[in-house]
Amino acid sequence: MLKWTWLSAVVIVLDQITKYMASTMLLMYKPVAIFPMFNFTLMHNTGAAFSFLDDAGGWQRWFFTVIALAVSTFLIVWIKRLTAKEKLQAIALALILGGAIGNVIDRIWLGYVVDFIDVYYQQWRWPAFNIADSAISIGAVLIIIDTIKAARSTDNHKTDRA
């Protein structure tokens, strides 16, 4: 099922293009309103998800890079072992792989991840994110959906036998 890694490549390219555009067209922390509750706001994240360990002193850059590369290797092996009937899982893993690599490129080259998608409601703000983060999130949701479908299928199969 490595044929789905083209999706990873698309995520990486879109992620890097949009991050470049955000970095060259936006000013740091200056929101540009797109829609109600949705801005583009340039931010740099030296930590992990939701800026976890953002102020840890620098070691986290290489720590998260190594973890992302290890996870990416694991995902490639996982995708390779999938069968043709596990298409949704392959798509989900390809999205997660593309997102992981998109963010690791930033960590290696810049020392931080470029975030620019800013969603909010009144005074509540979701942590800023990017295309790579979106692909990872969509991939995770697809894995959950696939797992639920597989569990239901197994339950139905057991019921049919009874």
What residues contact 128, with CB distance under 8 A and at least 6 apart? 41, 43, 45, 115, 116, 117, 118
Instruction: Decide if 160 is catalytic.
Output: no
| Among the listed residues 151, 150, 142, 9, the one whose alpha carbon sits nearest the alpha carbon of residue 88 | 142
Closest CA to 16 of 103, 139, 117: 103
**Catalytic annotation on 115?**
yes
Which H/E stretch holds residue 34?
strand 32-35
Residue in 15, 133, 155, 160 annotated catalytic: 133
Q: Which listed residue (115, 118, 155, 160) is catalytic? A: 115
Active site residues: 115, 133
